[in-house]
A and B are shown apart, each in its own frame.
Chain A
């Protein structure tokens, strides 16, 4: 067993908010404590070198978990270690990169100045900064904006700047809270590629996301949170493959009689411009349909046994939280 690079045990966070409210509609102001259990007894192990996805609907506690790990807020209960050391260890912080959710930075700084300042905080020498910063700006596609104050950055540009600052120190672990939010499809793909290249370099990537399709493609393992509780954790195919599969059969040039006959056999039927698509759950029926298509004058275009997508898993298992 490899040593987990991130480990949490019984990690619990209860937010206590002081709310000034009126009682029973009367003007009697009193201080109430409203408690929100954002994280309930979370046990996680993330292995070195893997891409780990923290998934869950809005308000599930993803950001809370990352903030506790980053030492921004303190857990109400439980413990966590990063690289085997307790949270807040400075030598560990030196090899961590962190991109917060919807990041915001000093808007009076120019792109280059911003990275230069953060490089100083990492304790990088002037020479190292001079070398690293242009590389990173290039990597995240912000070379053209290095002299522009962050005030003038778009949401996606800020996200990229945030990513650049998280990579200044060639981190061993990168924590990314929704790295793809605010990015266009190109940007999302770039991030995906970037995460994969980080893994290639041996870094561990811990990220939270809503974009399940992307998480599905790149994650080695995922944890699924709902209402602060860990629902599921494991390799993507462990979580998904055990569940029902669907079979998709696409065909063309079928006679109308044939189409209506097959439609009756399948769970779902979709008519496309040139082809028709049958979706069935049982393998025997799928094979029967395929045989009929082959025997007919029509053509079989494709036959795809499909695993359940993460999205379907989500919708089936997790009710949206009332935030």
Chain B
């Protein structure tokens, strides 16, 4: 086990020393920061826009990292022959692959953690930028009943306080010490997204264990798309069945759709962003998606190991 961690940690190190990761991260943070300056809207409208944009970009950049780092992970080792001196050490090939997988997952999750932290801070910051809240804090009623207009310094102090408090609250939320109903929901949505990424990362590694990076990237994206459409395919298949089959091609189509829907991951399970937008839907932690995510990832990884174990490293 300690050897798997050594490999995982080294994979993490590799990613961290790769410039692409920083470019992706900075880009994601910029998008979130820019969402914080949407014009004169009510707080709840602003929060909705920011939430939507934030969660979408967290998912999207997580996916980008999974695909772009994941597809090269195994291929580069073979291509540069760095693997020669790894698998000849007293480790098994499956330990190598699992270590790589966990290392990539660690990389993705730490990036997501940074993004979520930033994202939460932007959300909390909105609370301070509300007109009423701001004027209450800045305009002081004097003894003679007049209102003293705020000075530059008091403005500065207010913004500084807003930033520091937002960051502190974001930190508190991540450590589960502090939350608002909205941020609790956000954390859960992101958590479900992480489960989805565990599956996608597994696929990226599976594909890259037998094909080239370009092909793996295409296959991974395809898997993601089919996975997201999975629920629709099931509905489609059921509807075909209800209508009954007149020709054998129809039956074939049904079987094909059914198999496709049940073999590909049902990623719809993990997409909870839309429920967050509807105020009265409460997002809960459910056992089924969690188990599904873990077991599906494990199955994919098992398949990857199976292929990898028999490979000739030429």
Contact = CB atoms under 8 A, between A and B. Distances in A.
Interface of A: 15, 67, 70-74, 90-91, 93-94, 96, 98-100, 103-106, 108-109, 117-118, 120-123, 162, 165-166
Given A72-B313, A73-B312, A120-B2, A106 B10 contact: yes
B312 A123 contact: no
Interface string B115-137: 00000000000000000000000
B314 A123 contact: no
Contact of B85 (A90, A108, A118): A118
Interface in B59-97: 80-82, 84-92
B13 interface: yes
Given A93-B91, A118-B89, 10 more contacts: A15-B314, A72-B84, A93-B89, A94-B90, A98-B85, A105-B82, A108-B17, A117-B6, A120-B3, A166-B85
A137 B81 CA distance: 23
B141 interface: no
Contacts of A98: 84-85, 88
Contacts of A104: 80-82
Size range of the chain B interface in the assembly? 20 to 34
Most buried by A among B3, B80, B82, B88: B88
B232 interface: no
Query: Which 4 A-B residue pairs are closest in the complex by CB-CB distance?
Result: A120-B6, A121-B89, A94-B90, A73-B312
A122 B85 CA distance: 11
A109 B14 CA distance: 8
A121 B2 CA distance: 9
Contact of A123 (B13, B82, B84, B90): B90
A100 B81 CA distance: 9
A80 to B, nearest CB: 14
A122 B86 CA distance: 10
B312 A121 contact: no
A285 B182 CA distance: 104
A122 B82 contact: no
11 contacts: A70-B84, A72-B87, A73-B313, A98-B88, A100-B81, A104-B81, A117-B6, A122-B89, A122-B90, A123-B90, A162-B85
Contacts of B3: 120-121, 123
Given A73-B313, A108-B13, A120-B3, A103 B88 contact: no
A96 B88 contact: yes
Given A15-B314, A73-B312, A121 B90 contact: yes
Contacts of B80: 104
Nearest to B15: A108
A95 to B, nearest CB: 9
Q: Which of A99, A121, A165 is packed against the most chain B CB atoms within 10 Å?
A: A121
Contacts of A106: 10, 14, 82
A100 B84 contact: yes
B86 to A, nearest CB: 7
B314 A91 contact: no
Contacts of A165: 85
A268 B310 CA distance: 57
A71 B2 contact: no
A148 to B, nearest CB: 14
Contacts of A96: 88
A262 to B, nearest CB: 56
Nearest to A15: B314
